[in-house]
Amino acid sequence: MMLDEKNTDSANVAESEIDLRIPVEKRDIAIQVSHLDKVYKLYDKPMDRMKEALGLTRKKKYTEHYALRDVDIAIHQGECLGIIGTNGSGKSTILKIITGVLNPTKGDVKVNGRISALLELGAGFNMEYTGIENVYLNGTMIGFSKEEIDEKLPDILEFADIGEFVNQPVKTYSSGMFVRLAFAVAINIDPEILIVDEALSVGDVFFQAKCYHKFEEFKKVGKTILFVSHDLSSISKYCDKVVLLNQGTKLGEGSPKEMIDAYKRVLVGQYAVEKNSADEERLLDDPDLVEAANRKKRKVITEGVNPDMLEYGNKEAEVTEFYMTDSKGVRATAILKEDTFTIHMKVVFHQDVQAPIFAFAIKNIRGTEITGTNTMFEKTYLEPGKTGSKKEVTFTQKMTLQGGEYLMSFGCTGYEGSDFKVYHRLYDALNVTVISDKNTVGFYDMCSQVQVADIS
């Protein structure tokens, strides 16, 4: 994140302790996590725990569960880092260790800066106290004097916007009111490092928008943000870097787009880990997909097709061809805004497939998934796919995206009983250019019809 000196107002630099003109990788470390382990002892019976605590047995009565295993993370000042992973992957555990709520079993954590943390709902609040009393309690715990909290109180109450409820015990609050107050306290005490764990999933859409606007303000003045969320769009939009955890192990670290794509593979159990020449972990295709990857590289690369697309699946059904046609039926990778266009997929079945689902998705170049659909959503239920049979699937629609560059992904999935199966997925396979002479705000054009009339 480096700003042009000519376009950077000196007042903006002075407003922050971090000079945003310095590249992120050259700034000081805000949080350093080194070889972190967190192990829990799991006992079959409560009596076993008591016997061990009293020294009544020498036999090991527990099994060890690694919530975190040898995790390394470095976050630079002014960086927004996201942590993603499935439930139970260790995301909340690592945040609690960084904030001092939990002690690590092994490893070191170094923090350079004052932390404000918004962990799970209720952390740090006394349910019997009023909202005002909890504001002072939290401020005191962080190290502020009563006078400093007095000065910040108007901003906190204005942001929370819960009215007279600030004088009521927080145990009477709704979850929405609670998170409003908790977030208002967290961001208005002038932290150098803000840590947020899924808390923004609570609260109405207007409050969430208000919080994300505050995120943007924090980033502009060089605050360090550590953000855990299942909202992949927010991770893609706000984070400079993302760490992927799974079952307590760090699987990868990289750009939001790379790690979100990898996370989707984790969700369907199709990933493997090995060491590269730099001795860093990276995600690779499953061994049985190596030949498929080689076949992909041998294909003749046509216009708009990504030679480095991410490809995986068990290949019981395989997407063998994909392309777009314009309103005249001509193959194209550039579509005029407001024109009708058709997406084509050709699929061959190498095994019998009970209920195939064909899908496409469109992302922007940052990796945010903007739109997409599949034959199940569209209630187009097809016959089972028979071994050796081939299908061509088409999706026809009007182009209403703003002008720009996009990436299209394709997939064939399905259910076998209650089990979800990925037969073949191609991520970021096709480049799509939307040509427009009129762009509005956001991803889509609402195609508004505007009228202005004189009134008396």
Q: Could you tell me which residue, 75 or 292, shows the higher pLDDT?
A: 75
Is the predicted pLDDT of residue 301 greater than 60, yes or no?
Answer: no
Q: Do 226 and 31 touch, CB atoms closer than 8 A?
A: yes
**What CA–CA distances, in Å, run from 378 to 53, 382, 407?**
59, 11, 21
Query: What is the full DSSP assignment across 284-351?
Result: E--GGGHHHHHHHHHSPPPTTB-TT-EEES--SEEEEEEEEE-TTS-B-SEEETT-EEEEEEEEEESS
pLDDT of amino acid 271: 64
Residue 8 predicted with pLDDT over 50: no
Residue with tokens 């954590």: 109
Q: Give how far the C-alpha of residue 261 lies from the chain's centroid of Cα atoms, to the nearest Å.
A: 10
Strand partners, 76: 29
Q: Is the dihedral of CA 258, 260, 261, 263 positive or negative?
A: positive
Average pLDDT rounded to a whole number, residues 280-299? 43
Question: Cα dist. 258→149, 232, 310, 405, 430 in Å?
Answer: 42, 12, 10, 18, 16
Tell me how many degrees the CA angle 78-82-88 measures, rounded to the nearest 5.
145
The pLDDT value recorded for residue 175 is: 78
Residue 39 has pLDDT above 50, yes or no: yes
Range scoring the smallest mean pLDDT among 69-83, 155-169, 182-196, 422-436: 182-196
What is residue 452's predicted lDDT score, i.e. its pLDDT?
95
pLDDT at position 199, please? Answer: 63
pLDDT reported for residue 135: 92
Q: Which residues of 375-393 are buried (b: 16+ CB within 10 A; e: fewer)?
A: bbeeeeeeeebeeeeebeb
Whether the per-residue pLDDT at 24 is higher than 90: the answer is no
Confidence band for 17, pLDDT divided at 50, 70 and 90? low
Q: Going from the N-terminus, what domains does the chain have, and what CATH number goes with each?
A: 7-261 (3.40.50.300), 305-435 (2.70.50.60)
| 11 has a pLDDT exceeding 60 | no
Task: With H, G, I as helix, E, B as strand and everything else as coil, classify residue 453.
Answer: coil
- Angle separating helix axes 175-187 and 146-160, nearest 10 degrees: 130
pLDDT of amino acid 359: 97
Per-residue pLDDT of 74-127, as tens digits, reads 999 989 999 999 888 999 899 999 988 899 999 999 999 888 887 765 567 888
CA torsion angle 263 264 269 274 (round to 10): -40
- Give the per-residue pLDDT at 120: 63
Please report the pLDDT score of residue 322 as a whole number.
96
209: confidence class by pLDDT, cuts 50, 70, 90: confident
- Say if residue 274's pLDDT is above 80: no
**Beta strands across the sheet bearing 29-43:** 62-76, 29-43, 106-111
Is-contact 134 181, C-beta < 8 A? yes
* Phi and psi torsions of 384, nearest 5°: -60, 150
Mean confidence (pLDDT) of the chain = 83
Q: Is the pLDDT of residue 300 over 50?
A: no
Residue 131's SS3 state is helix
Of the pLDDT bands very low, low, confident and very high (cuts 50, 70, 90), residue 272 is low
More confident residue, 211 or 286: 211
pLDDT tens, position by position, 411-423: 999 999 889 999 9
CA distance 64 to 39: 6
**Reported confidence tier of residue 402, pLDDT bands at 50, 70, 90:** very high
Tokens 């927004």 sit at which residue?
Answer: 80
Q: Say yes or no to pLDDT of 244 above 90.
A: yes
* Total-model pTM: 0.74
Tell me, what's the pLDDT at 49? Answer: 78
Q: Give the angle 81-85-86 at the CA atoms, nearest 5°.
A: 155
Q: How confident is the model at residue 454 (pLDDT cuts 50, 70, 90)?
A: very high
- Residue 410 pLDDT grade (very low, low, confident, very high; cuts 50, 70, 90): very high
> Is residue 69 pLDDT above 80, yes or no?
yes
Range with the largest mean pLDDT of 19-33, 194-208, 423-437: 423-437
The arithmetic mean of pLDDT across residues 44-60, rounded, is: 77
Q: Given this model, what pLDDT does residue 413 score?
A: 96
Beta-carbon-side half-sphere exposure of residue 416 (alpha carbons within 13 Å): 9
